[in-house]
Amino acid sequence: RKEVEQDPGPFNVPEGATVAFNCTYSNSASQSFFWYRQDCRKEPKLLMSVYSSGNEDGRFTAQLNRASQYISLLIRDSKLSDSATYLCVVNSNSGYALNFGKGTSLLVTP
Amino acid sequence: DAGVTQSPTHLIKTRGQHVTLRCSPISGHKSVSWYQQVLGQGPQFIFQYYEKEERGRGNFPDRFSARQFPNYSSELNVNALLLGDSALYLCASSSWDPRETQYFGPGTRLLVL
């Protein structure tokens, strides 16, 4: 079983839509959780860290459910510029390495 | 401030050859990690170095090796290249605590023919 699993999509949504991505992780000892964004042929960039209490950054809301080992990302009022691959990331057993999901592809259309 | 830099940006090699990839971390960062990303997959952890010592190693064969220099820059070496080594190789740096946010460089795109 892969350490981090995501629905690969693609998700095709119109501008202004709300879209949610989900992710599950297998290592219950994981301590740090992130969403990274990756544009085509570019490096991953940190979108936001995910905290147990849930956190929001503008149009983006991340939630963590440790009991279910489940992480989510909600994007409200989608923009064309949100089109990218969203990577769910969990730190490893050692706490040093990052384990990435395969990524979920989002395409926002006019 | 400059971000993480990597060289070269692109590289074409043939099977059996050897390659060296280079990375300079963000100024002040002491930890460097290397990841391999093949098409359609998320990045996979290869190595992490902190203060010139290997802190972690992913599930990669011994053909992969790395080192970190006194100025915290790093090299990733791959020997006896295989077609399956074709990928984007990403370097990430973080501050004194390697568990903190990792910032990625633009990557080196390696094609093995």
Contact with chain A for residue B102, Cβ under 8 A: yes
Chain B nearest-CA residue for A98: B45
pLDDT at B1: 61
Regarding predicted confidence, which is higher, A27 or A107? A107
Lowest mean pLDDT among A100-104, A105-109, B49-53: B49-53
Write the residue in A4, A42, A97 that is nearest to B56 by C-beta. A97
Partners of B50 on chain A (C-beta within 8 Å) are: 96
Cα–Cα dist A12/A57, whole Å = 22
In this predicted structure, the answer to whether residue A94 has a pLDDT above a threshold of 90 is no
Q: Residue for token digits 């903190």?
A: B100
pLDDT at B98: 60
Partners of B34 on chain A (C-beta within 8 Å) are: none
Chain B nearest-CA residue for A86: B42
Model confidence at A91, pLDDT cuts 50, 70, 90, reads confident
**C-alpha distances in Å from residue B65, one per residue of B54, B75, B87, B88:** 10, 8, 16, 16
